Chain A
Amino acid sequence: MSAAGPSRPPVAVHQFIPTLNPRDATGSHTLLLRDILRGAGWRSEIFAEAIHDDLATEAYKHWTYPEHAAAGDVVIYQFSTSSVVASFLADRSEPLIVDFHNFTAPEHFRGWEPHSEERAARAYDDLVLLARRAELGLADSRFNERDLRRAGYRRTTVIPVLVDYRRVGAPPDRRVAAELAAAKAKGGADLLFVGRIVPSKAQHQLVQALWAYRRLYDPAARLHLVGGSSSFAYLKALREFTAELGLVDAVRITGDVSDAALAAYFGAADAYLSLSAHEGFGVPLVEAMAAGVPVVARRVGAVAETVGDAALLLAGTDPSYVAAALHRVVSDATLRRLLLEAGRRRLPAFGLDAVAPQLVAAVASVAGAPQ
């Protein structure tokens, strides 16, 4: 085409995702990436199997994509669970990038959520299905990259998930902050975990750890479990267990919260505690670093890779062991300072300024440079 010819619309790089949620890591990543792709000069829309009501204007149903498709399109699949979107994309011909955020293994749902177990069991099949079509596999961590390689992805690269960790530094929700401050005035440490209430996040072990911590070190300590639940059976068991241990007043299960409320919880926390049985990256770990909250975490999956030397990493989850670690992090000023300094040093690597250019370059390696 000559320079004087009619101008063509820019090439489109569209994203597909099983479920677009406003407050989960993959949903936030997808929305941020959409803006980055547009900023770089590509057209970009989001297509999803399910769309949260709050984001109804941000995405299309995946099956409407043929109405939007154009020659030259490149598609990115945000892979976090099994979905009909995978087979939909497997049957299409657009160049495909799989952005892999890992998925919870089925055994973590066993005995709790048969439907989730079944869905998780299909996730690996989806990953393998797309391997032959994918021109590039993006992984949040080397841990995830290994899974991509095992599934048959030939070309892979590691780029951290997009985290807008500025949200934890936003002005806190005044009502929540006041409640937390009133509780803190009576004494006791505030322990925090952020994540969906599901068996793989092991919130019951956090409650056990709190029980031991209160018994051994700090009888007034509190635990805040922030995040919605997709496992009713586990949530119910967690509530009953908390009541049986006499910790109803010490454990707050908040459900989904606003960014301002999240900032309030991080603002009040004396330690961030994660005992998850599986983590492909761990966005809240980065948010804790950003909020200046020292991290105690079980060394599992990609956790060590994400936190580096900015956390106290635990080999086990015995309540007395976790409680002793919490006690040190809360009471040892030197340890706190070292962990927080390490977090501050580590943080820029996860900043949008650092990650966005890497993603643009990776996408350009498949789609060509944006116009």
Chain B
Amino acid sequence: MRRSTILWFLIATCLGVALFMVKHEVQQREEQLAALHRQILASQEAIHVLEAEWSYLNRPERLEALVRRHLNLVPMDNQKIGAVELLPMRLPPAGAIGDMPVDGLAPTLAGGPPLPVGRPLMLTRETRR
């Protein structure tokens, strides 16, 4: 009788302590979570402000003024824009230039596939001037 009473008392105490610890832990974690949320919100707000500042600093007007002051950039000349097709293909090997065949194909090298000869660059009216 006395023994079992002590046993039950011990169990109850242990459970009580465990319950308290769990509750304390949960409380602590919840506080931590809330702190993290606050931190996230603060960071998000900071990002928001920085984004606004970033786009303010990236105004085309300002960038243009900075470029004019510090760099040698000029608006792109559209004559300098080309297409990949305008690039000459790889030149035939140096030794083969002498006997260039007329059909537009470089001589084959020991049975390899024929290499196309570079197309001359197309000149526009403007570049010829």
Please determine whether chains A and B interact with each other in the same assembly: no
List residues of B whose CB falls within 8 A of some A CB: none
List residues of A whose CB falls within 8 A of some B CB: none
